[in-house]
Amino acid sequence: MAVQRVLTLWDEGQIMETDTRILRAPSLEAPLPFNAEVNEAIRALWDTFLDRDDSVGLAAPQIGINLRIIAVRTTNFDVKDREQRRLDSEILVNPRITQTRGELVALEEGCLSCPGVNIEVSRFPEIKVRAFDDEKGKKLNKRYLDFAARVVQHEIDHLDGKLIVDYEGPVYAPKKYHSFLQTYFDNR
3-state secondary structure 131-168: EECCCCCCEEEEEEEHHHHHHHHHHHHHHCCCCHHHCC
Per-residue pLDDT at 18 = 97
Q: Which entry of 126, 135, 155, 168 is annotated as an active-site residue?
A: 155
Strand partners, 120: 108
Query: Cα separations (Å) of 16 from 35, 56, 62, 68, 115?
Result: 31, 23, 13, 22, 12
Per-residue pLDDT at 1 = 61
Task: Evaluate if residue 59 carries a pLDDT over 70.
Answer: yes
What's the chain's average pLDDT?
Answer: 94
- pTM as predicted: 0.95
- Name the strand (E) or helix (H) holding 17: helix 17-24
Task: Evaluate if residue 188 carries a pLDDT over 80.
Answer: no
Q: Per-residue pLDDT averaged across 55-66, rounded? A: 97
d(CA 63, CA 95): 18
Say whether 155 is catalytic: yes
Asked if 50 and 80 touch (Cβ cutoff 8 Å), the reply is no
Q: Helix (H, G, I), strand (E, B), or coil: what is residue 101?
A: strand
Which domains can be identified in the chain, with CATH numbers? 10-97+127-163 (3.90.45.10)
d(CA 71, CA 108): 20
DSSP class of 41? H
Task: Evaluate if residue 67 carries a pLDDT over 90.
Answer: yes
